[in-house]
Amino acid sequence: MLFKVALESLKNRRSSVLLTIFALTISISLLLTVEHIRQQAKVSFTRTVSGVDLIVGPRTGSLNLLLFSVYHKGSVGSSMEYSTRALLSQNKNVEWTIPVSLGDTHRGFTVLGTTNDFFQHFKYGLNQPLQIVQGRAFAASNEAVLGATAAKKLGYRLLDGLVLSHGLGSVSFKQHTDFPFKVVGILAATGTPVDETVHIPLQGLAAAHGVKNHTQKSSFTKNIHADKHDHDDEHGHGHGHGHGEYHSSAEHQFSSIAPNPKYPLSQISATEPISAIHVGLTNPVAVLSLQQKINQNQEIPLSAILPGIVLNELWQLVSFIEHLLLGIAWLIVVSSCIGLATMLLASMRERTKEIAILRTLGAAPTRIFFLLQIEALGIVLTAILISLMSVTGMLFLLQNWLASTLGLYLTLNLFTLSTSLILLGILAVTCICTLIPAIRGYQDALTNRLQ
Amino acid sequence: MDKLAAIHIQDCHFAYTPESPILHIPSFIVEAGTTVFLRGPSGSGKSTLLQLCTGMLIPQQGQISILGQTISTLSASARDRFRATHIGVVLQQFNLIDYLSVQDNIKLAQHFAKPEALDKHPDYLDELLKALHLSQNILQQKANALSVGQQQRVAILRALINRPKLLIVDEPTSALDEAAKTGFMEMLFRLQHLTDCTLLFVSHDMRLTQGFDQVIDLADINHIATSSMSTAHTGITTAKIKTAKGAQ
């Protein structure tokens, strides 16, 4: 009965109640959004790299190296020679290495020069390997494997051609038009920066640069090609001219995309500049000693970082802002709860009559207290429901945009332990703020004057 | 003393603030089953007396027994429960909650009463509706959609729904026109007869005293004279002489 009275009473004060619900919905939505993005950002941040024990790069700050090599943000001023890879591989604890070279873009997407080791060893999330859903890995130096988002956004399909631009940024005036690439593979979506990346073989990257800039080195590389030629392109001949035909029926024939024998995956020059090396160890216990060894190496200035630890450091840095945002969102929620209390308090004047009637009918003052609390909780619960729906709707609409522009990969599920706690917290704040009008109602009921 | 009094007040003192006492009633008794007209202009402490009788206020001194129950010694919640179950109240105005339907207003009265005291007889509501010349479909209407006359009749119905032994009515006719007043009083007496309750009717309008067993002036039982009361008191002293009849 008390619920019915509360409901009818709220309906009776429709306009002020609706306004209050509106204000509460905005603030609760804000809080939920901040909390959700905070949680998801952390998850999406930390899932970008997994199974990599060590990242080795030219001597630089650890954050810088991580940002550059994993998130493709910022820049590493210097580069190191490809020969470092062989040096690292000599260590008995090293199981695999992935060389990574950055610096070019294709229509705004990062271009990453690497080897097939990348597809084989790189892991993300909970040790999930990369998956090529269409086509195959590199078999020639003029081939490219696209991340899921990059392929989708660029509208590329297998065997489409692409040209690199020098430098980062979507508008570049220097194009490596002389060395075009061909899409041979597309990766499954990972929810990490890999999705936004165009992967090409290091040999291809060297060639694209070499044609214009490093002619000498390029020819040098070509000489080495000559030696290896025979091994790499055994199955290349005879299919070399058939590209066009594959276009229409490509879906069925990925595995048979033929590498162009003119661009074999030759040996990579030892002096080829690379940006970083991801290292996987057979024995993870050795990671600290290896890191120390690399960092203290006198001959080659190198930095080695443990991605997990640096990720945490980075998160600590961001968490200040994160807590600040959360704090502001809470303040807004509290202020709209106070707004709710004010609305209820203002309504008390017109409700003295109602309270008098309830008292006359035998309602104890505590019932009046609870009536007001029920009304407040009803308003807030409605606002919470609307907020949950609108935030879910908003995330649904913004999901793709957030992923592509901010690299934030959000799930639509808002119900986590901490959001549940936040919702309980909001209800608690409501009860506390409503104490003011509820106690006022209680006192009115006690000193009730029948007129 | 054989029959318990519906209202029995003994040496009752009440003041909102110690400096200005409102009531001192040495003795006031309303016999069970009788109808009593209590005359009191506004400002005479009438509302305070009614709140003392319904247990919404308790006296600083003295004893108040309602239907044999000394309510001045009950706990606050027991008094509320007692009021809900045993006393029906109709006020001058503000009887119904505007935004609730007539039915919900009635249900609200039942909600606060002891569940075992509720009248389970299905015809009782119909009986009341008929006696008050109200139609069935008024139940679905919102209280604020009713005319003043209808509202007062619904208020009576609501006051009687728990079959109270005591019905307290405070200036119920002040908002009604002359014709409606007569009709209202007739209905009130008929219902008092039907439900066999004690009726305490409070008003300043001496034209309505007809039919009451007893007419009492508040000024006669209250030993504290308030200023507003003494001005209103002039000229109508003759009326109270009639009251001697029922004051055994």
Q: Write out the DSSP string of A151-220.
A: HHHHT--TT-EEEEEESSSS--S-EEEEEEEEEEEEEPP-SSGGGGEEEEEHHHHHHHHHHHT-HHHHHH
Which residues in chain A are contacts of B171 at CB distance < 8 A?
none
Range B164-183 burial, b when 16+ CB lie within 10 A, else e? bbbbbbbbbbeebeeebbee
More confident residue, A138 or A404: A138
DSSP letter for A67, please: I
Of B77, B99, B170, nearest to A9 by CB-CB distance is B99
pLDDT, tens only, A316-346: 887 888 889 889 988 988 998 898 888 888 8
Q: Which residues contact A412 (CB under 8 A, 6 or more apart)?
A: A392, A395, A396, A399
Q: Which of A14, A347, A357 to substitute to test the interface with B, most B CBs within 10 Å?
A: A357
- Note down pLDDT in tens along chain B; length 248 residues: 446 789 999 999 998 888 888 889 999 999 998 999 999 877 778 888 888 898 888 899 899 999 988 988 888 889 988 999 899 999 887 789 989 999 999 989 888 887 776 666 778 888 889 888 898 889 999 998 998 888 989 999 999 998 899 999 988 888 788 888 888 899 999 999 988 899 999 988 888 888 899 999 988 888 876 544 444 444 344 344 344 333 33
Distance of CA B126 to the CA centre of its chain: 23
Residue A234: the pLDDT is 38
Residue A171 has pLDDT above 80, yes or no: no
In Å, how far is A367's CA from the nearest CA of chain B? 10
Taking CA–CA distances from B106, the nearest residue in chain A reads A361
Torsion region of B171: left, alpha or beta (phi above 0 gives left; psi -120 to 50 gives alpha)? left
- The CA distances from residue A334 to A32, A328, A380, A432, in Å, are 14, 10, 12, 10
Q: Which residues contact B28 (CB under 8 A, 6 or more apart)?
A: B7, B8, B9, B12, B216, B221
Instruction: Give chain A's mean pLDDT.
Output: 81
Which residues in chain A are contacts of B82 at CB distance < 8 A?
362
For residue B229, give the H/E element and its range.
helix B227-233
Which residues in chain B are contacts of A357 at CB distance < 8 A?
94-97
Neighbouring-strand partners of residue A175: A165
pTM over 0.80: no
Which residues in chain A are contacts of B80 at CB distance < 8 A?
359, 362-364
pLDDT, tens only, A38-86: 888 777 777 787 888 999 998 888 888 888 888 888 776 678 888 888 8
Interface membership of A368 toward B (CB under 8 Å): no
CB-CB under 8 Å, B84 with A362: yes
CB-CB under 8 Å, B99 with A450: no
Which residues in chain A are contacts of B109 at CB distance < 8 A?
361-362
CB-CB under 8 Å, A12 with B99: yes
Interface membership of A5 toward B (CB under 8 Å): yes
Percent of chain A exceeding pLDDT 90 equals: 22
CB-CB under 8 Å, B98 with A12: yes
Taking CA–CA distances from A450, the nearest residue in chain B reads B47
pLDDT, tens only, A195-237: 889 999 998 888 887 744 443 333 333 333 333 333 333 343 4
Residue A96: the pLDDT is 92
ipTM reported for the complex, 2 dp = 0.83
Q: Which of A1, A7, A10, A360 to substitute to test the interface with B, most B CBs within 10 Å?
A: A360
DSSP letter for A78, please: S
Please identify among residues 149-208 of chain B the ones whose CB lies closer than 8 Å to any CB of chain A.
170
Interface membership of B77 toward A (CB under 8 Å): yes
